[in-house]
Amino acid sequence: MKRLSLCSIFSTCLCAFALLTAPAIQGAADQEPSSQEQEKPRKEKDAFDRAGKATEGALEKAGEGAGKGVGAAVEHTGRGVTRAAKATAGALEKTAEAIADFFDGNEGDEDRVREVQRVLQQKGYYSGPIDGIVGPKTRSGVREFQRDEELPVTGKVDAKTAERLGVD
């Protein structure tokens, strides 16, 4: 259903009023009104009153509809924000788990991952971005480093690997 704006409803009512009253205004100039013509202004007034009431009703309904629409939009946005917050919390939890696994259960955070990435990059084992994300390139770089250093190849930064890399 097409929604009408308040301006278009008001404009329509004004046009209707102008059409209804124009003949009465033009004809009233020089003539003595007949009984039909005397009744015409009353009919026009009645029509104008009905148009005004219809406009009021339409405006009320438009206002109610707008209120419902705004309420629904707010509710929908709230649900979206809640879903986004849950997804973000889930992603943070998975990131924390990945970092804990990367450091073989030892303490670690994104800054420590960046430090490992920088050292691996300096030593030629990593070519990805220094972003603090434990991704496949980071794990691959750690595995290559461990292989060259004759450490157990796990792709994780355990105590021996961290020591050989020179990271805390």
Q: Is the CB of residue 127 less than 8 Å from the CB of residue 137?
A: yes
What pLDDT sits at residue 48? 67
pLDDT tens by residue, 136-148 = 999 999 999 999 9
What pLDDT sits at residue 120? 96
Tokens representing 77 are 């946005």
Nearest to 114 by CA among 138, 92, 97: 138
pTM over 0.75: no
pLDDT tens by residue, 17-66 = 555 555 555 554 455 556 665 666 666 677 767 777 777 776 676 666 66
Residue whose tokens read 């970092």: 99
Higher pLDDT, 78 or 128: 128
What pLDDT sits at residue 102? 84
Q: Round to whole Å and give the CA distance between 50 and 89.
A: 58
Q: Round to whole Å and give the CA distance between 64 and 69.
A: 9
Confidence category of residue 95, pLDDT binned at 50, 70, 90: confident
What pLDDT sits at residue 90? 78
Confidence category of residue 89, pLDDT binned at 50, 70, 90: confident
Q: Where are the alpha helices (DSSP H) in 28-156?
A: 35-102, 110-122, 136-148
Stretch 60-89: mean pLDDT: 72
Give the chain's radius of gyration (CA, Å).
38
Residue whose tokens read 């670690």: 108
Q: Round to whole Å and give the CA distance between 24 and 41.
A: 7
Q: Is the CB of residue 167 less than 8 Å from the CB of residue 116?
A: yes
Nearest to 124 by CA among 102, 140, 107: 140
Q: Which fold has domain 103-165?
A: Muramoyl-pentapeptide Carboxypeptidase; domain 1 (1.10.101)
